[in-house]
């Protein structure tokens, strides 16, 4: 199990958290997603190698911004 931590701009409520969770959980290899709109973090637990660019793209497709 590997963990990826992302800083995401633009989450304002639980609804935003859920949109990110529901989108990322569909990616093969992602086991769990914990999004927190208060501190703007997304924690992703993976069971195998995942494509980080693919994850970031999905987040941006939803209208959120990745903070580098």
Could you give phi then psi for residue 37, rounded to 5 degrees?
Answer: -75, -20
Taking CB under 5 A as the rule, does residue 1 contact Cu ion? no
Strands 41-46 and 2-9: antiparallel
Part of the chain binding Cu ion (CB under 5 A), chosen from 9-17, 24-32, 38-46, 58-66? 9-17
Among 5, 13, 53, 68, binds Cu ion (CB under 5 A): 13
Strands (E), 1-68: 2-9, 30-36, 41-46, 65-67
Part of the chain binding Cu ion (CB under 5 A), chosen from 13-21, 22-30, 43-51, 52-60? 13-21
């Amino acid at each position: 199990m590997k963990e990826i931590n992302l800083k995401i701009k633009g989450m304002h409520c639980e609804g935003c958290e859920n949109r990110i969770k529901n989108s990322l959980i569909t990616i093969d290899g992602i086991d769990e997603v914990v999004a927190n709109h208060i501190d703007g973090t997304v924690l992703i637990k993976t069971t195998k190698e995942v494509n980080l660019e693919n994850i970031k793209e999905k987040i941006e497709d939803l209208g959120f911004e990745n903070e580098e």
